Structure 1
Amino acid sequence: MMYHKHYLDKKSVAYFSEALVKHFLKNPAYAGIAVVCIGTNRYNGDSLGPMVGSRLAERFENHRQVRVYGTLDSPVHALNLQKAVAAIAEAHKRSYIIAVDACLGQFYKIGTIQLVDEPLEPGVSLGKQLPPIGHIHLKGIINNYGPLNHKVLEHTSLTFVGEMAVVMSRILVKACQDIIPHLSAAEPAAHEAANKRSSGS
């Protein structure tokens, strides 16, 4: 199922956070939340995920039940995604995993946020075959899909991407806060060990 709303819609935060919580409650046996924000800081358009990740990492710094991967300082992107997915799967066997990414779409859909209740397949619009990740994913349509997608990502307005990142961060903060009381017992010791090794990004 897909939920969609423009990022400027004043109801978007409540709309998407409620949908996330509803999806989580279908199988509330998770012991933690892992948010994986995909993207790079090298292209404006592709920096949406890391921008969201940086805001979340600051908000949930050292939080025992919420871990954030993929920030502007330590991005999760095409070159390290496979390794990151394997590490996250191992460290968060009982975590509810939310993937976040930017995407390209039809012109009239630019600015739309989409929540899709299935794993994210990163890099599809660029023709890349990367491992899927997440129980659910949140993505923002940042520009028009076309024959020069790399150039489109490079020349997307950074101000626009930043504004969308603020809204998506609010959605995820609200959803995580509402999900945390429903999390089950702590994850296995392996997860705690991973937390100690991780800087939260």
Structure 2
Amino acid sequence: MTFFLNMKNTSVNSNSPFAKSTLSEFIYEHLIKYYDGNYDDIVILCIGTDRSTGDCLGPLTGYKLSYIPRIYSKVSVLGTLEEPVHAKNLEEKITYIYSSYNNPFVIAIDACLGKLERVGYINVAKGPLKPGAGVNKDLPNVGDIHVTGVVNLGGFMEYIILQNTRLCTVMKMADIISSGFITSLWKFFKQNEKLTTT
């Protein structure tokens, strides 16, 4: 459960019929703009736990993207339903990322709480997110860019709110985020292929 560090973001309503295509464009634009010569590997870090409905957006998305590394050798996905990345192992995973990958470009994905009218919105932004801030946990900032989904109302009784979040809302956002990544990564690597061959 995260807190925004950078409010200059682009967002899409998951209930929009164009949510998948719009989100894929946002992700693609962020990759084109911020993934530069300083980076090599891309690590998609999906944060959250499968023990809380409201906080399982990351693991669900990671599960849906877990086959991606078999298609793109430069892309890795950490944080799935089987092996979630959560408060207890986040620092260890961040250390692992920066010691195991070549100049990693980290894309952090997490659920967040927000205003009632923003529930169901998916945000893409430059810079790190702060996992755990939504439930008052002090965890390290992570991500060169980040994607967050507003799963429920924030501001009070966060743990109870998370436990009572509708799985339908979270599943829909996980579907849209994973689809957005599949399309945007295809476009991004296709574009990079053109750039390196011309």
**Deviation of residue 2 (structure 1)?**
0.5
Q: In structure 2, which of residues 89, 102, 105 is the aligned counterpart of residue 96 of structure 1?
A: 105
SS at match of 1:21: helix
Alignment of 1:42-121 (within 5 A): 42-61=51-70, 63-121=72-130
Aligned pairs, number: 185
Determine which of 171, 175, 181 is the counterpart of 2:180: 171
2:21 is matched with which residue: 7, 14, 20? 14
Distance 1:114 1:62 in 2: 26
Task: Report the Cα distance in structure 2 between the residues aligned to 1:28 and 1:46, rounded to whole angstroms.
Answer: 31
The Cα of 1:11 is off from its aligned counterpart by 2.3
CA shift at 1:146, angstroms? 2.6
Q: 1:126 aligns with which of 114, 122, 135?
A: 135
Q: 2: distance between equivalents of 1:17 and 1:90?
A: 29
Shift of 1:62: 6.6
Quick check: 162-171 or 5-14, which moved more? 5-14
Task: Determine which of 159, 162, 172 is the counterpart of 2:168.
Answer: 159
Shift of 1:167: 0.7
Q: Does 1:28 align with 2:36?
A: yes
Distance in 2 between residues matched to 1:114 and 1:68, nearest whole Å: 19
**Contact kept? 1:41, 1:75, Cα under 8 Å:** yes
What displacement does 1:83 show?
A: 0.5
TM-score (norm 2): 0.86
Matched, 1:4 2:11: yes
User: Cα deviation per residue 1:56-102 (whole Å; 9 max; x = unaligned)?
Assistant: 00344474121000000000000000010111122224232111000
Q: Describe the superposition over 1:101-150 as per-residue Cα deviations: whole angstroms up to 9, x where unpaired.
A: 00000111100111111111101111111111111000100000032100
CA distance in 1, matches of 2:20, 2:99: 31
Contact 2:23-2:177 at 8 Å conserved across structures: no
Q: Secondary structure at the match of 1:153?
A: helix
Q: Which runs of 5+ in 2 are unaligned?
A: 1-7
In the TM superposition, residue 15 of structure 1 has moved relative to its aligned partner by: 2.2
Matched letter for residue 164 of structure 2: H
Partners in 1 of 2:113 and 2:28 — Cα distance?
Answer: 26
Report if aligned partners of 2:58, 2:79 keep a CA contact under 8 Å in 1.
Answer: yes
Percent identity over the alignment is 32
8 A Cα contact 2:112 2:148, kept in partner = yes
Measured on the aligned residues, the alpha-carbon RMSD in Å equals 1.9
The one-letter code of the counterpart of 1:115 is V
Amino acid in structure 2 at the alignment position of 1:23: H
Comparing 89-98 with 170-179, which one deviates more in the overlay?
A: 89-98
